[in-house]
Amino acid sequence: MNTPSHAIVNLAVLSQFSLPEVNLAIAVGAILPDLPIFLFYGWAKFIQKLPERQIWSEGYWEPGLQNWVALFHSIPVAIFAAILADYCGWETGKYIFMSMVFHSLGDLPVHHDDAHRHFFPLSDYRLISPISYWDPQHYGRIVAGVEVLAVWVATAVSFPGVASFIGKGLMVAIAGLSAIAYFYIYARPLVQKYQRD
């Protein structure tokens, strides 16, 4: 799933079991697993000035970065941290780590070639799913459409529980941008192809 989608979906699921005060923690936890990827991309693109192809075909697969990605996407590590935070009475931390678990559970079924090691450090196993959230060769067009629909439903479900106007605005912006991105990446090329034929 795309990172902003995780934030909206996690908020819709976890806010049913929490007070509005932890909504920000849920959103942070939903985004946190992808932080090493964003930091790497910023460094590779804007500091090293590497081409996109080299970033994703070489740099992204460097063992050091992959270990950080695995750690931040680790279901066992996040579960342990959530239990520890709960034991220590740190409510915010508990929801950050629970949201990280839900992020990884959302990733598991929709990553093909780019699957993470979700059971690190207990195992280096990668679940190579037959479907992908982005790759058209692995039903990415369909999965991305389902993701957009899930974001819209999750926005409708969680919208009333978000008190902040900024939060509500971000949710609406993410839902709108996900639909626009889907159109430009997947639907528009199909329309253009049929118009040419």
**pLDDT the model gives residue 42:** 98
Angle subtended by helix axes 75-87 and 91-107, to nearest 10: 160
pTM for the predicted model, two decimal places: 0.92
Compute the mean pLDDT over every residue in the chain, rounded to the nearest whole number.
95
**pLDDT the model gives residue 194:** 66
CA distance 40 to 178: 23
Q: Look up residue 3 and give its amino acid.
A: T
Q: Is the pLDDT of residue 18 over 90?
A: no
Task: Indicate the SS3 state at residue 123.
Answer: coil
Q: Is the pLDDT of residue 190 over 80?
A: no
Burial, 1: exposed, middle or buried (Cβ in 10 Å; 0-12, 13-18, 19+)? buried
Confidence band for 191, pLDDT divided at 50, 70 and 90:
low
To which H or E segment does residue 86 belong?
helix 75-87
Confidence band for 116, pLDDT divided at 50, 70 and 90:
very high
Q: Is the pLDDT of residue 195 over 70?
A: no
3-state helix, strand, coil in the chain (%, to 5): 75, 0, 25
- Mean per-residue pLDDT, 5-28: 94
Buried b (16+ CB within 10 A) or exposed e, 59-97: bbeeeebbeebbebbbbebbeebbeebeeeebeebbbbb
CA distance 68 to 73: 9
- Mean per-residue pLDDT, 168-191: 90
